Amino acid sequence: MDMELTGKRVVITGASKGIGYACAEAFAAEGCDVVIAARTPDDAAAALRAKYQVRVEAVTADLSKPADRVRLHEATRGADILVNNAGAIPSGSLDVLSMETWEQAWALKVFGYIHLTKLFLADMRARKDGVIVNVIGMAGRAWKHNYIAGTAGNAALIAFTSALGGEAQADGVRVFGINPAATRTGRMETQARQRAQVQLGDAERWMEMLTGLPLGRAIEPREIAELAVFGASPRGGYISGTVVDVDGGGWFK
């Protein structure tokens, strides 16, 4: 199925690996020009250039810093699609996490998403066209005390995405989100190790944190990426204000 995205310019944050890279690859496969924004984007950009006949730009940025967000926006004005994906909120309960950890984690994922959305949305409103995709996470629905900073941050972004998507459509701009559950990335292992250390006292027992997954497996990054592509395309042209839960029904187990 042609997603009717050929020639669109897509900015993807946190796109050097995991879900972000999968999104970059999926959009490139649809003929989009891709901007990879990450702390170390060059290797990912080179890999995409070698595989797809599209323009691939690499922007080195620490998106926990407001100045780097502004610089990314200035470098990519006129982008058709923004995919907010950069985020690394650590596991831990309220008594374990320091306030410094909260502030650092939210600077990247929560305020990073909000600030970049504010910057890109203004341009999209002006031309009456554009799509913003927020990759958030199921912890914002299924609240977890041992992932308290992430569950609270994700819940805030779900509300932000829904409220904004319900309003921005009046200006021809769509905003929607995706909530992945456990996805097969390096970050999944990192989080599992953090939980194993807290709960079992041994980070090496991290595989024990991944038992009982729906359908007997973790989500593949491409599954999230392909959903992002569909939702951002004209084929998903009536999607705005919603956040799609992708958890294999695990919330209802």
The helix or strand, by DSSP H or E, that contains position 176, with its residue range, turns out to be strand 173-180
Q: Per the structure block, which two tokens stand in for 132?
A: 């913003």
At 208, the pLDDT band (50, 70, 90 cuts) reads confident
CA distance 32 to 144: 37
How confident is residue 207, by pLDDT bands cut at 50, 70 and 90? confident
CATH number for domain 9-181+219-240, candidates 3.40.190.10, 3.40.50.720, 3.40.50.620, 3.10.20.30 = 3.40.50.720
3-state secondary structure of 183: strand
Half-sphere exposure of 152 (CA within 13 A, CB side): 15
Q: What is the pLDDT of residues 26-36, one digit of tens each?
A: 999 999 999 99
User: In the structure, what pLDDT confidence band is assigned to residue 192 with cuts at 50, 70 and 90?
Assistant: confident
Q: What is the pLDDT of residues 144-162, one digit of tens each?
A: 898 999 999 999 999 999 9
Residue spans per domain, the chain: 9-181+219-240
| Per-residue model confidence as pLDDT tens digits over 12-61 | 999 999 999 999 999 999 999 999 999 999 999 999 999 999 999 999 99
Phi, psi of 146 (to 5 degrees): -90, 10
Task: Give the long-range contacts of residues 195-203, CB within 8 A, separation 24 or more.
Answer: 195/91, 195/146, 195/147, 198/91, 198/92, 198/93, 198/96, 198/146, 199/146
